Amino acid sequence: MVTLADLQVRTLGPCTVSSPLAMYVSERETNEYYVGETDRILYDDTVELITARGLPLDELPTFEAGGPRRSIFFDPAATKVGVVTCGGLCPGLNDVIRAIVLELHTHYGVRDVVGFQHGYAGMVEANGHPVVQLTPEYVARINERGGTILGSSRGAQDPVAIVDRLVELDIDILLVIGGDGSMRGAHNIGREIESRGLSIGIVGVPKTIDNDIPHIGQSFGFSTAFAKAAESIKAARVEVEAAVGGVGIVKVMGRHAGFIACYAALANHDADFVLIPEVEFSLDGENGLLPLLARRVSERGSAVIVLAEGAGQDLIPADDRTDASGNAVLGDIAGFLRDQIGKDFANRSQPLTMRYFNPGYAIRSVPADASDSVYCARLAQIAVHAAMSGRTDMVVGRRRHRFVNVPIPFVTSGSHSVSPDGDLWLSVLESTAQPFSMR
Ligand code: ATP
Ligand code: MG
């Protein structure tokens, strides 16, 4: 059960410096630019959920509002900020870096912003990566490119060595753009900072192309990613319609959450089957994938399967391998399905032309679309506001059309996935006409 205490963001101390943003925003008491400390966003979104708690209003779980404060913790002229990107690539990383630098320079007057290269590995001095001075000129056009100008990496790093480097470089704020692992890493760095009694803030901009980090609303880059995946589904549809017994398999990202598969399939209604990690399916049996697929192809001439990479893992032998960060390597569900479908159609003496599409890396590396660019820029600004006001051990997110500050332990304590009983999955079933249960 979530409580108000779970949502309390840690701060480094009282805010005693007047925000230089006053130059830009109206000083009227009634203006809505500054966020007040009593402005909080409800965690529950229905009357039923709130009523069930039986709590007075001021004890209900609520998020802290993200945004600029009238008074801040750090004196901009004496503040140095570090930025790092970690984990896999995702559209919009450069937009976030750019907006962080511009917000710090232009609005707060923070002149000293450095970028660490190649993720947390680049923060460990012994690895020999020099820092990059991030100026408005340096970041001016980086949003036009995909990837991250700072580079990234996986693999465990020692928080003690990382904090040593922060101290050596005299850094006051570390902004981390990365996924669930990076946020766990950020929390560990924050604990090391706390144990040394230092006033260094850590604020994260959560990155997940799969949209699987909970409590932050939709993640940046997700909408660019599923739009790109939808293009591959469209291409698959064209290919299989031209073939005899055409079956297209489009493998998209989604290790534990099938959001990209669902949204990409819904974007153009060209999918016949959507297979995601959250919904188990069988191959044989009346409602298994193979007989349903054979029927669909014989009735309509072709079929397209949208396959999230983490789907159907229970059907294939487990892969014991892990990547450098300790994440399990997934079994090759696409290869397995291609093999099984080939054998099944042969057994039925049914003609088959299979086409396989794997747009994974092409999706990760594209620049953000216009909507994601806007979102990245705004998330970055909210992260800077939070950091300058002394918030730490937190990430930014967007709930109920409001930006929020969320403690890192809260977002790393669970994950976000497609509910098989929810309205998104229902929309997918309606769009594909695949049965509720494929078992
Ligand atoms: P994504 O999975 O979206 O690509 P991620 O941030 O989860 O992004 P990881 O490779 O898991 O990617 O982690 C990135 C960095 O975070 C690693 O270099 C590692 O130093 C650190 N990290 C990962 N997992 C943990 C953990 N459980 N505890 C502390 N640090 C971690
Ligand atoms: Mg991860």
Which of 84, 85, 86 has most ligand 1 atoms within 8 Å of CB, for mutation?
A: 86
Pocket lining: 19 vs ligand 1, CB cutoff 6 Å: no
Type of residue at 129: H
pLDDT at residue 141, as a whole number: 95
Cβ-contact 209, 182 below 8 angstroms:
no
pLDDT above 90 covers a percentage of the chain that reads: 89
Q: Which two tokens stand for residue 230?
A: 């939808």
How many CB atoms neighbour CB 184 within 10 A?
16
Cβ of 372 below 6 Å from ligand 1 = no
Q: In the structure encoding, which two tokens stand for residue 135, read together?
A: 């100026």
Q: What pLDDT is recorded for position 325?
A: 82
Q: Tell me the HSE value of 393 on the side-chain side, using a 13 A CA sphere.
A: 20
Per-residue CA distances from 377 to 93, 183, 282 (Å): 10, 20, 43
Instruction: Check pLDDT > 90 for residue 67.
Output: yes
Domain enclosing residue 301, as ranges = 223-365+420-432
Asked if the model's pLDDT at residue 21 lies above 90, the reply is no
Give the other-Cβ count within 10 Å of 214's Cβ: 18
C-alpha dihedral, 142 to 378 to 265 to 365, nearest 10°? 20
Q: Are residues 54 and 110 in the same domain?
A: yes
Q: Are strands 17-18 and 71-72 parallel, antiparallel or unpaired?
A: antiparallel
The number of the ligand nearest the C-alpha atom of 184 reads 1
Q: Is 325 in the pocket of ligand 1 (CB under 6 A)?
A: yes
Q: Kindly state the average pLDDT of the residues 350-356.
A: 98
Q: How many domains does the chain have?
A: 2
What pLDDT does residue 31 have?
A: 60
Structure-token pair, residue 346: 């042969």
pTM here is: 0.96
Residue 13 token pair: 């101390």
Report the nearest-CA residue for atom 23 of ligand 1.
181
Give the tens place of pLDDT for each residue, 370-379. 999 999 999 9
Q: What is the mean pLDDT of the chain?
A: 95
* Token pair belonging to 130: 């020099």
Average pLDDT over residues 177-185: 97
Q: How far is the CA of 256 from the centre of ligand 2 (A)?
A: 10
Spatial separation of the C-alpha atoms in residues 84 and 361, rounded to whole Å? 21
Give residue 11's pLDDT band: very low, low, confident or very high (50, 70, 90). very high
Whether residue 104 sits in one domain with residue 22: yes
How confident is the model over 295-301, as a mean pLDDT?
A: 97
- The verdict on the CB of residue 322 being under 6 Å from ligand 1 is no
- CB contact at 8 A, 220 and 209: no
Whether residue 374 sits in one domain with residue 355:
no
- DSSP sequence for 216-254: S-SPTTHHHHHHHHHHHHHHHHHHHHHSTTEEEEEEE--
From ligand 1's centre to the CA of 395, what distance in Å? 15
Answer yes or no: do 183 and 243 share one domain. Answer: no
State whether 372 and 272 are in the same domain: no
Q: Round to whole Å and give the CA distance between 63 and 406.
A: 7
CATH label of the domain that carries residue 250: 3.40.50.460
As a whole number of angstroms, the distance between CA 302 and CA 300 comes to 6
Q: What is the pLDDT of residue 22?
A: 64
- Give me the active site residues, please: 210
Same-domain status, 176 and 243: no
129-152 pLDDT, tens per residue? 999 999 999 999 999 999 999 999
Give the ipTM of the model, two decimals please: 0.98
CATH number (domain holding residue 160): 3.40.50.450
What share of the chain has pLDDT > 70, as a percent?
97
Domain presence at residue 437: no
Residue 79 is predicted with a pLDDT of: 98
Q: Within 13 A of 238's CA, how many CA atoms are on the CB side?
A: 8
Q: What is the mean pLDDT of residues 410-432?
A: 96
Is the minimum distance from the CB of 254 to ligand 1 under 6 angstroms?
no
Q: Does one domain contain both 119 and 240?
A: no
Q: How confident is the model at residue 268 (pLDDT cuts 50, 70, 90)?
A: confident
Each residue's pLDDT tens digit, 105-126: 999 999 999 999 999 999 999 9
- The terminus-to-terminus CA distance of the chain in angstroms comes to 33
Closest approach atom of ligand 1 to CA 185: 30
Q: Residue 12: inside a domain, yes or no? A: no
**Are 158 and 206 contained in the same domain?**
yes
